[in-house]
């Protein structure tokens, strides 16, 4: 077949262990689609909405730790991948994005479904490649094979991320009836082997000497997948009082040994001098807590960031050392070499964390019903182990306020947008038999409704929808909350509910408007079912804001007498 290098692309993916593809229908992409769909080792799914398709692939790749292939036709179809590609880039999740294109001579000639697709994703892609337009020459075939190998290797290299292959195609590009696809060619594979990055002996001596100068070490892990070994090392460092470990919910490393209620108490403790570190050690990606970021930026601490390769962010405006190694290796080194930390520093964090956990539970239990209390209730029923996806804006913040979770926490904090949270959760269900719970607000939920527009079962999906009929977070942010245009131009009030959507896409639908109704539904929400389920919790945006402010005021009053 004249398009054999495209068939070989699918074969190379399979040989390198990439077995999942999300395809969106189109004509120009037909040979690419067929190359993947006919490969006996490929599991292909069709998702018509390219924006949703890309986030579904992202949800799969995040779990599989391997690239998922995305295939779409030419033109604006490829632009619809952009939000998920940006999220993949900043979350360091591997995707292999394959777009069909017109030949170069037809670009800017008013030909249908034609845009400028080379370097389409700008600075939000690890690498981009363009296939040769013809394959008749041996060198053109070699070039296509080389691109296929390089692209997959680039997607998998640390930090992982999205890679784009653009494939210009001339007609005819449909196979003849009965034409066989040959996947058995002796295709050259280019393997890439990488070892663990370890510090040389000289570097270890320098680090050990530097550590002797610090008595108040704060370890701040960022967003990452669960890692039992890293969790054990952090717990031991905290138990041995060699450092304070501060954990947001998205780092998946929270425990009874770590500081989990910082997002609340850093806002209300009257005197923070005893909390200030002299060294911040971070690894992983972003954190949620704005109060923690502001606190660390105002400190005079040095900051060391640990990762094997890639660019090093200066999140706390005090980056002083970039350490190229594996976090697990470095944490073991800390455990072996750190002395016991300053006791006032340790006790200040531990006591504030303990008091805040107790105070928060008391005031939430006594609070009027609203979306925060609804989540507080619902979390007690979500099974573990399981996966929990959190939409951006308030859902992830509410859960972060509430302390340690036993579920794996997943959230689009690469770009922190509301787009794609439904689709990410759907992609996750394609990779696991565990329950996948999505906690989301109404704006994020309805924005991504096409996540459910496909033909594949997601019976293990549970959606907890907090519907206050507005973007309630804007009532909490000082700027928009004080503007007369708040309700029309920031909250963007809407009257939708999920009942018709649930019926259309085959969900079992439940609704709740008070504590007893939430409790009644949650007691059987995770019973096995052939249908996914949605619980829609109706609340009022103004009431939610009032409850949040009241609880924060109560917490502040409790901490006025906190020891200085």
Tens digit of pLDDT for each residue in 318-327? 999 999 999 9
pLDDT for position 489: 59
Q: Looking at the structure, tell me whether residues 40 and 162 fall in a common domain.
A: yes
Q: What percent of the chain has pLDDT over 90?
A: 78
Tell me the backbone φ, ψ of residue 340, rounded to 5 degrees: -65, 135
Domain end, chosen from 143, 168, 193, is at: 168
* DSSP character at residue 348: H
Q: Looking at the structure, tell me whether residues 349 and 415 fall in a common domain.
A: no
Q: Looking at the structure, tell me whether residues 16 and 125 fall in a common domain.
A: yes
Domain end, chosen from 149, 168, 187, is at: 168
Pairing of strands 387-390, 302-306: unpaired
| Overall pTM > 0.85 | yes
Helix, strand, coil fractions of the chain, as percent rounded to 5: 40, 15, 45
In angstroms, the CA 300 to CA 229 distance is: 31
pLDDT for position 112: 79
Q: Looking at the structure, tell me whether residues 213 and 93 fall in a common domain.
A: no
Within-domain flag for 175: no
Q: Looking at the structure, tell me whether residues 296 and 215 fall in a common domain.
A: yes
- What residues pair up with 461 in beta bridges, in sequence order? 436
Within-domain flag for 190: no
In this prediction, residue 109 has a pLDDT band, given cuts at 50, 70 and 90, of confident
Q: Looking at the structure, tell me whether residues 246 and 325 fall in a common domain.
A: yes
Within-domain flag for 564: no
- The answer on pLDDT for 476 being more than 70 is no
- The answer on pLDDT for 561 being more than 90 is no
pLDDT for position 236: 98
Q: Looking at the structure, tell me whether residues 157 and 223 fall in a common domain.
A: no
In the chain, how many domains are there?
3
> What CATH number does the domain containing 530 carry?
3.40.50.970
Pairing of strands 127-130, 68-72: unpaired
What Cα–Cα distance (Å) separates residue 3 from each residue in 66, 131, 172?
Answer: 26, 11, 10
Task: Pick the range with the lowest mean pLDDT from 59-68, 173-182, 208-217, 446-455.
Answer: 173-182
pLDDT digits (tens, 9 = 90+) for 59-106: 999 999 999 999 999 999 999 999 999 999 999 999 999 999 998 888
In this prediction, residue 402 has a pLDDT band, given cuts at 50, 70 and 90, of very high
Q: What are the DSSP calls for 347-359, one per residue?
A: HHHHHHHHHHHHH
Within-domain flag for 282: yes
Average pLDDT, the chain: 92
Q: Looking at the structure, tell me whether residues 17 and 161 fall in a common domain.
A: yes
Tokens 């670009």 identify what position? Answer: 107
> What CATH number does the domain containing 343 carry?
3.40.50.1220
Residue 171: CA atoms inside 13 Å, Cβ hemisphere, count? 3
In this prediction, residue 280 has a pLDDT band, given cuts at 50, 70 and 90, of very high
In this prediction, residue 560 has a pLDDT band, given cuts at 50, 70 and 90, of confident
pLDDT for position 495: 80
Q: Looking at the structure, tell me whether residues 452 and 536 fall in a common domain.
A: yes
In this prediction, residue 222 has a pLDDT band, given cuts at 50, 70 and 90, of very high
Q: Looking at the structure, tell me whether residues 251 and 147 fall in a common domain.
A: no
pLDDT for position 271: 86
In angstroms, the CA 199 to CA 239 distance is: 26
- Closest by CA to 515, choosing from 309, 304, 366, is 366
In this prediction, residue 486 has a pLDDT band, given cuts at 50, 70 and 90, of low
- The answer on pLDDT for 288 being more than 60 is yes
Task: Pick the range with the lowest mean pLDDT from 108-112, 151-155, 272-276.
Answer: 108-112
Within-domain flag for 562: no
Within-domain flag for 194: no
The token pair that represents 454 in the structure block: 């496909």
pLDDT for position 203: 87
Q: Is the pLDDT higher at 299 or at 478?
A: 299
- The answer on pLDDT for 472 being more than 60 is no
Q: Looking at the structure, tell me whether residues 328 and 378 fall in a common domain.
A: no
Mean pLDDT of 101-128: 89
Domain holding 32, by residue range, is 4-168
In this prediction, residue 488 has a pLDDT band, given cuts at 50, 70 and 90, of low
Domain end, chosen from 329, 358, 387, is at: 358
Within-domain flag for 59: yes
Within-domain flag for 179: no
3 state SS of 38: coil
- The answer on pLDDT for 471 being more than 60 is no
Q: Looking at the structure, tell me whether residues 95 and 140 fall in a common domain.
A: yes
């Amino acid at each position: 077949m004249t398009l054999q290098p495209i068939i070989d692309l699918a074969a190379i993916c399979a040989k390198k262990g990439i077995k999942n593809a999300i395809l969106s229908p189109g004509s120009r992409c037909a040979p690419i689609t067929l190359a993947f769909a006919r490969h006996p080792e490929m599991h292909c799914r069709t998702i018509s909405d390219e924006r949703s398709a890309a986030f579904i692939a992202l949800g799969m790749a995040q779990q599989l730790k391997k690239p998922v292939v995305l295939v779409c036709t030419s033109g604006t179809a490829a632009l619809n991948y952009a939000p998920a590609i940006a999220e993949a880039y900043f979350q360091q999740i591997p995707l292999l994005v394959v777009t069909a294109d017109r030949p170069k001579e037809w670009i800017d000639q008013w030909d249908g479904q034609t845009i400028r697709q080379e370097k389409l994703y700008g600075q939000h892609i690890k690498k981009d490649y363009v296939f040769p337009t013809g394959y008749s020459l041996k060198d053109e075939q070699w070039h296509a094979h080389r691109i296929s190998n390089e692209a997959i290797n680039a997607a998998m290299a640390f930090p992982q991320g999205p890679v784009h292959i653009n494939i210009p195609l001339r007609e005819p590009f449909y196979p003849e009836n009965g034409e066989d696809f040959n996947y058995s060619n002796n295709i050259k594979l280019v393997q890439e082997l990488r070892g663990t990055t370890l510090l040389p002996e000289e570097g270890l001596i320098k680090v050990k000497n530097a550590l002797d100068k610090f008595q108040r070490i704060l370890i701040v892990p960022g967003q990452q997948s669960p890692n039992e070994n890293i969790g054990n090392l952090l717990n031991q460092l905290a138990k041995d009082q060699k450092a304070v470990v501060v954990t947001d919910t998205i780092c998946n490393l929270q425990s009874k040994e770590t500081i989990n209620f910082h997002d609340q108490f850093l806002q209300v403790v009257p005197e923070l001098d005893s909390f200030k570190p002299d060294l911040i050690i971070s690894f992983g990606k972003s954190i949620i807590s704005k109060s923690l970021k502001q606190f660390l930026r105002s400190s005079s601490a040095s900051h060391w960031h640990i990762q094997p390769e890639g660019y090093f962010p200066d999140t706390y405006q005090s980056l002083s050392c970039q350490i190229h190694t594996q976090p697990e290796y470095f944490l073991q080194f800390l455990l072996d070499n750190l002395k016991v930390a300053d006791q006032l520093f340790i006790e200040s964090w531990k006591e504030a964390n303990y008091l805040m956990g107790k105070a928060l539970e008391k005031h939430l239990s006594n609070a009027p019903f609203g979306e925060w209390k609804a989540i507080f209730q619902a979390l007690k029923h979500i099974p573990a182990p399981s996966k929990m996806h959190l939409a951006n804006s308030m859902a992830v913040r509410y859960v972060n306020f509430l302390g340690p979770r036993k579920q794996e926490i997943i959230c689009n904090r690469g770009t922190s947008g509301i787009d794609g949270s439904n689709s990410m959760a759907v992609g996750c269900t394609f990779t696991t038999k565990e329950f996948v719970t999505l906690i989301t607000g109404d704006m994020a939920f309805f924005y991504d409704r096409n996540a459910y527009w496909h033909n594949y079962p997601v019976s293990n999906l549970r959606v907890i929808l907090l519907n206050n009929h507005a973007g309630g977070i804007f009532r909490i942010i000082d700027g928009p909350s004080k503007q007369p245009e708040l309700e029309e131009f920031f909250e963007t009030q809407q009257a939708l509910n999920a009942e018709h959507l649930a019926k259309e896409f085959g969900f079992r639908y439940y609704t709740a408007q008070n504590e007893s109704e939430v409790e009644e539904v949650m007691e059987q929400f995770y019973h096995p079912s052939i249908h996914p389920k949605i619980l829609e919790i109706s609340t009022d945006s103004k009431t939610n804001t009032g409850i949040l402010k009241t609880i924060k005021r109560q917490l502040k009053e409790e901490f006025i007498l906190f020891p200085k």
